[in-house]
Amino acid sequence: MLKPSLLILAGDGIGPEVMEQVKRVISWFEERRGLAFDVSEALLGGSSFDVHGTPLTDDVMQQADQADAVLLGAVGGPAYDDLDFSVKPERGLLRLRKEMDLYANLRPAQCFDALADHSTLKREIVAGLDILIVRELTSGVYFGEPRGIIEDNEGGRIGINTQRYTSGEIQRVARSAFELARRRNNRVCSMDKANVMESGVLWREEVDAIHAREYPDVELSHMYADNGAMQLVRNPRQFDVIVTDNLFGDILSDCAAMLTGSLGMLPSASLGAATESGRPKALYEPVHGSAPDIAGQGLANPSACLLSFAMALRYSFDQGQEAERLEQAVEAVLAKGIRTRDLFQGADNEMHSSTEGMGDAVIAALEQSL
């Protein structure tokens, strides 16, 4: 049988070091579970700019488009802050999302019991939290035209971005959210700013229409996104699936991440429509960024990247049980008190760990699971 292909784009900052641990785990699954992948690696972001003068070459774009799944570390860093917008590391990531048409970005925020005291919120607010943010990823203000910085007649400047959504773009991400809700607790909360934005009015109408026509069995509610941000920190467990646009989803998912104790814990999957193979086009990445302040020091938490690979096992390779095995291994390591710096509080039962030490512990936990 042909091995499914996996393209690794480790990227910048802490990307390569967290990805190193994922590569070890991929090898473990190959050796111990017989899951073989055809793994290749390429440059993305600043590391690609350094070599090729562009954050994403056409060649790598094509490799990503043809891969069964793409695993990404992180992009960006202060060295690239002054670059022209068109070649910033982030443009590479945005081009991947757009050209692969990865419109549904799944960002699950789960609070493992071992970390309930690590959130900035009280344990009783976050313990047992398990929500899923479905963020629209290929449209909205991130891509809307016109955009740019232009001069006005008085010698001043005007910065322009456009929030734009078509019915079709809203419908397809709404469907993803309803489908996912059916496999969870069957509730969707849609967040928009229909009180001030026409695009929000359309968003709400289209979500309502899809709901009435195709998913009447799912419980649907609507919330203004600002209230949503407040509710996420007031009582996050009221939510099951949240569906929202690209910009609100970017902001709300960082907010949700902190509920879990650390941004270093949050994985994500970006999925497109199913291809001929039956698999969706897919890219998996931790929600955290490149964290340049700690890069290269072995301090980064590889959990989010490991959990992103678990999502790949589930959504691209139909290996739900193996995904759970990996998720449980990460949870078991945390339950033992093994902590990278982002999670280390110095309590008696805690052991400080490097990035690699965390990888060692996860592999040991995987071995134990057999």
Say whether 167 sits in a helix, a strand or coil.
Answer: helix
| Using rule CB under 6 A, residue 250 touches ligand IPM | yes
Nearer to ligand IPM, 142 or 239 (CB): 142
Residues 92-121 that bind ligand IPM (CB under 6 A): 93-94
Q: How far is the CB of 252 from ligand IPM (least distance, A)?
A: 10
Residues 48-77 that bind ligand IPM (CB under 6 A): 76
Q: How far is the CB of 213 from ligand IPM (least distance, A)?
A: 30
Give the whole-angstrom CA distance, residue 163 versus residue 100.
21
Nearer to ligand IPM, 267 or 359 (CB): 267
| Using rule CB under 6 A, residue 90 touches ligand IPM | yes
Interface residues with Mg ion (CB under 5 A)? 250
| Sheet of 219-224, strand order | 38-41, 5-11, 69-74, 280-284, 269-274, 104-110, 130-136, 241-244, 187-192, 219-224
Per DSSP, what are the bridge partners of residue 282?
A: 271
Binding segment (CB under 6 A) for ligand IPM, from list 90-98, 169-177, 274-282, 292-300: 90-98
Binding segment (CB under 6 A) for ligand IPM, from list 16-24, 87-95, 218-226, 315-323: 87-95
Residues in contact with ligand IPM, total (CB under 6 A)? 5
Nearer to ligand IPM, 75 or 189 (CB): 75
Does residue 146 have a cis bond before it (omega within 30 degrees)?
Answer: yes
The structure tokens 């313990």 sit at 127
In the chain, % helix, strand, coil (3-state, to 5) comes to 45, 20, 35
Torsion of CA 320, 321, 327, 330, to 10 degrees: -150
Active site residues: 142, 193, 226, 250, 254
Q: How far is the CB of 123 from Mg ion (least distance, A)?
A: 26
Nearer to ligand IPM, 143 or 344 (CB): 143
Question: Cβ of 267: how many Cβ atoms within 10 Å?
Answer: 26
Residue 90 binds what, of Mg ion, ligand IPM, none (CB under 5 to 8 Å, by partner type)? Answer: ligand IPM
Say whether 348 sits in a helix, a strand or coil.
Answer: coil
CA triple 199-195-246, angle to 5 deg: 40
Residue 93 binds what, of Mg ion, ligand IPM, none (CB under 5 to 8 Å, by partner type)? Answer: ligand IPM
Q: How far is the CB of 203 from ligand IPM (least distance, A)?
A: 18
Nearer to ligand IPM, 282 or 362 (CB): 282
Binding segment (CB under 6 A) for ligand IPM, from list 27-35, 88-96, 216-224, 330-338: 88-96
Q: How far is the CB of 217 from ligand IPM (least distance, A)?
A: 31
Give the whole-angstrom CA distance, residue 300 versus residue 296.
9
Give the whole-angstrom CA distance, residue 334 versus residue 368.
15
Look up residue 104 and give its two tokens.
């549904």
Look up residue 48 and give its two tokens.
């690609």
With CB atoms as reference, the residue minimizing the distance to Mg ion is: 250
Nearer to ligand IPM, 232 or 365 (CB): 232
For every residue of 253-306, DSSP letters joined together read: HHHHHHHTT-GGG---EEEEEE-TTSPEEEEE--SS---TTTTTTT----HHHH
Per DSSP, what are the bridge partners of residue 244?
A: 135, 191
> Using CB under 6 A as the criterion, which residues of the chain lie in contact with ligand IPM when the complex forms?
76, 90, 93-94, 250
